[in-house]
Structure 1
Amino acid sequence: MKFKLFLLFTFLIIPVAKAIEFKSNDRVVLLGNTFIERDVNFGHIETFLSIALADKKVTFRNLGWSGDTVHCHARSYFGPPKEGFDRLSKHIDFIKPTMVIICYGSVAAFEGDEGIDGFEEGYEKLIDMIKSRAGSRIALMSPPPCENLGPPLPNMNYQNVRLSKYSKIIKDIAVRKKCDYIDLFSALGAGKTKMIPPVTLNGVHFTSQGYRKVASVMMEVMGFENKVDVSNSEREKLRQIILKKNRLFFNRWRPQNETYLHGFRKHEQGNNAKEIPMFDPLIKEKEREIHNLAHSFGKDK
């Protein structure tokens, strides 16, 4: 009897993954700091999602920005910090996402308890801006834990304690603002699980193998674990197309020499700005390839 009660209690406390709802032809934005931006170079998160959502023809846009926070100050160029928030607002206007997956907290957690109030206020302001401009459905994702790789790298246990606290705050924000919540921090072991092989370069920045692990875990947390069963060679072929699309879009929304194209020196070479929209048909062509290939995986089974 005691054993049966133990099993029942154990079953009740195991969190059940709630499937995140995606709709046909969704335009999904991945928004966050370095963790999100670096997947542009690896494409694993988008690859797994593209396979899981192959029947819906979902498109993805990575708007990650290294060092960014919910206040978006890192996105500012030569103006005041507020310019960064305004810049993101314009990108939201341009893309008009129907779904936004947001992952912030890694940077803010370094501020500890002192940064909590500003973090909550900034996060809610960000959510309100996205909803008011695009009416997007939003999922908040907790930041990944740091990894302890041993000396000479620092011990990240204390930072993981702070990340745990911020993850709980993000969950509370998700409840208040009626957003979905993706608990990546816990799903990756909350800093208490040793990954073999390691998933980061330095305890913070994920490797390609690390992002593949992240993508796999995300599928479980989001309720898609049974929808990405394809061979490694098939998945890799899709990933390579996604990487090409990502490079095209990166140059579309963050072109080199933007000061000359759109900034205070556009009077010198601003005529070249007309070439930026020429990326759009190239991006759409890659997306057709992505959808066709991802959809073919299901037909082969």
Structure 2
Amino acid sequence: MPAMRPLSLFVATFVGFAAPCFFASLSSVADQPQPLLRPHDRVAIVGGTVVERMQHSGQLEAQMQTRRPEWKLTVRNLGWSGDDVHGYARKRFDSPKGGYARLLADIELANPTVVLLAYGFAEASDGEDAVARFSEGLKRLVDHLKQANRRVILITPFALPGYKTENYQALIAQTRQITQAIGSETDSPVASIQWEPSGEQLTADGLCPNEAGFAVLANELSDALVGGDSQRPSHELREQIVRKNELFFNQYRPQNETYLLLFRKHEQGNNAAEIAEFTPLIQSADEKIWQIARP
């Protein structure tokens, strides 16, 4: 009867055989960055024209929901065409400071756990003076959000060839560097977008992604935000997301705002009560999105 091998020798042999595979597996996992979003996050996407146009496409949310249907993400688009980090485009009949207050109020309405900030586009197109104010403004906004216990993820801007601003490429590069620097300074993760859009991925004026461009952008952002493999979201899912986005848009940017909330509210201000009635409709739309996204 053959002698039994010592247990210590067996273990050593097994470990010696398995270790390369085990550590190779660990290395493979370690090479994959952790997603920046978390299950059940409430996400507010904030920025200018590119962000506002996202709501009509639905590509980004559709990609994220399809990759991570079990996460049940809630996404609110707070893009505003021409907006910069100071909120100037959001002001109503008040001073530019009022625009920044409106920006913070918009984010508060969305009640997010995490805010995606996509600024630097308008600053680069507005020239050197705007870029010179960008760092201070972005730092102020990030600080305000963190004081309100919101997580912040910064998204680097990318060049859009339709802009004719002098030294535009250099200014975009500066806003990218500033975004990275503020991310490091405030301990905020940065989704660094490397996309260089081709003509087929842009609107005719070259100022914004078209549907093909938003699909590419959605994939690159989703890699950083939720991880997983690229998916092909259904047309039904995208339609439902666009419908939900429209409901939320009408809630946070209602028509006839002057009559509902501002200096003419004495005429029709009683109708402002209907704004809150959008909330259950939006929540129902979220539920439908989660149902459709399930495999």
Superposition TM-score, scaled by structure 1 size: 0.82
**Preserved contact between residue 39 and residue 71 of structure 2 (Cα < 8 Å):** yes
3-state DSSP of counterpart to 2:171: helix
In structure 2, stretches of 5+ residues that fail to align are 1-30
Residue 173 of structure 2 aligns with which residue?
A: 164
Q: Specify whether residues 71 and 157 from structure 1 end up closer, same or farther in structure 2 by C-alpha distance, changes over 3 A only.
A: closer
Measure how far apart 1:275 and its partner are: 0.8
Cα deviations by residue, 1:144-177 (Å, 9 ceiling, x for unpaired): 22136xxxxx768942232122101110110001
Measure how far apart 1:223 and its partner are: 6.2
**Preserved contact between residue 72 and residue 84 of structure 1 (Cα < 8 Å):** yes
Q: Which amino acid aligns with 1:262?
A: L
Q: Which amino acid aligns with 2:195?
A: L
Higher-Rg member (1/2): 2
Residue 126 of structure 1 aligns with which residue?
A: 141
3-state DSSP of counterpart to 2:153: strand
> What percentage of aligned pairs have identical amino acids?
33
In structure 1, stretches of 5+ residues that fail to align are 1-15, 149-153
Residue 270 of structure 1 aligns with which residue?
A: 269
3-state DSSP of counterpart to 2:75: strand
Map 1:2-21 → 2, pairs under 5 A: 18-21=33-36
Map 1:43-192 → 2, pairs under 5 A: 43-133=58-148, 135-147=149-161, 158-184=167-193, 187-189=194-196
Q: Which amino acid aligns with 1:137?
A: R
Measure how far apart 1:229 and its partner are: 2.7
Which of 201, 206, 211 is residue 204 of structure 2 equivalent to?
201
Measure how far apart 1:214 and its partner are: 0.9
**Preserved contact between residue 47 and residue 242 of structure 1 (Cα < 8 Å):** yes
Cα deviations by residue, 1:207-258 (Å, 9 ceiling, x for unpaired): 12211111122223446251x434xxx5221100000001100001000000
> C-alpha distance in 2, partners of 1:50/1:41?
16
**Preserved contact between residue 139 and residue 180 of structure 1 (Cα < 8 Å):** yes
Matched residues, number = 265
Q: Over the residues paired in the alignment, what is the CA RMSD in angstroms? A: 2.1
**Preserved contact between residue 216 and residue 225 of structure 1 (Cα < 8 Å):** no
3-state DSSP of counterpart to 2:66: helix
Residue 235 of structure 1 aligns with which residue?
A: 234
2:223 matches 1:220: yes
Cα deviations by residue, 1:232-291 (Å, 9 ceiling, x for unpaired): xx5221100000001100001000000000010000000101111111111111100101
